[in-house]
Amino acid sequence: MCTRIFYETGTSTYITGRSMDWRDVTMQSDLWVFPRGMARNGGVGEGSATWTSQYGSVIVAIYNLATSDGMNEAGLAGNMLYLVESSYGDPAARAKPLISVGAWLQYMLDNFATVAEAAEVMADDP
């Protein structure tokens, strides 16, 4: 189980830390910089969501594939946390474009400037 700690200092400074409890000693992490305007997809093949990034971002990629941590040019930051017991339901039952777990954080960084903005959109159409 990965863990994230977030500390608000009260002076517009925020500190975040996280553990990476993935049990794969061969996992490679890379730092990538993405510009705004990139054509993206949800990474699940046929039926994937598609979008164009509205914000550039700096991310940590794992397995040369998934965004595990990142921040966009508007200051929105996020972390992908892993829990082996998690269940995400049956994607075929949604009848909507799909986004893989590994692309979910990147979707947020590409499309939203603030947590409030992301939460509002996700509340309307998760």
Please list the active-site residues.
2
Structural element, H or E, at residue 75: none
DSSP state of 41: E
Nearest to 59 by CA among 102, 5, 117, 8: 102
Strand ranges for 19-89 from DSSP E: 29-34, 39-41, 50-52, 57-62, 66-72, 77-79
Q: At what angle do helices 101-111 and 115-124 cross, to 10 degrees?
A: 120
- With vertex at residue 104, the alpha carbon angle to CA 98 and CA 110, rounded to the nearest 5 degrees, is 105
